[in-house]
Amino acid sequence: MNKEEISQLKETVISVLKTIYDPEIPVDIWTLHLIYGVDVDEEGNVKILMTVTAPNCPVAEVLPPEVQQRVKAIMGVKDVEVELTFDPPWDISMLSDEAKAELGLDGDYGGFSASDFLY
């Protein structure tokens, strides 16, 4: 696979990641910034570094396998490795303004922070 093909495959992987939603939060995992890295090699192997909103998140056991399965179904992908990490820990500041607005987390919370409303 040449550099252009690798780049195109990576963009396809990202497009698929944008269709996977955290079942607890109505925003896709890419927009939530739960994906820390996507690497594609010349053979078509994909490595994804991801996190979840909290270590005790109920989807921590099911979301990585779903990511692996959906990405592996992409034409041109040979194999997929999904690594779950909590370093750095995810926090609300990682959300885009668009995601905050979609979640209704763009207002004044008084003594609370937006993260108090997530896990």
Position 111 pLDDT exceeds 60: no
**Alpha-carbon gap, residue 83 to 44, rounded angstroms:** 17
Fill in the amino acid letter for 8: Q
| Lateral strand order in the sheet of 35-40 | 35-40, 45-50, 79-84
User: What's the pTM?
Assistant: 0.84
Mapping DSSP to helix (H, G, I), strand (E, B) and coil, where does residue 22 land? coil
The pLDDT tens digits of the residues spanning 94-106 come to 887 777 777 777 6
**117 vs 79, higher pLDDT:** 79
Distance CA 74, CA 113 (A): 39
Residue with tokens 């997929």, as numbered in its chain = 80
- pLDDT band at residue 109 under the 50/70/90 scheme: very low
pLDDT at 112: 47
* Domains of the chain as residue ranges with CATH: 3-117 (3.30.300.130)
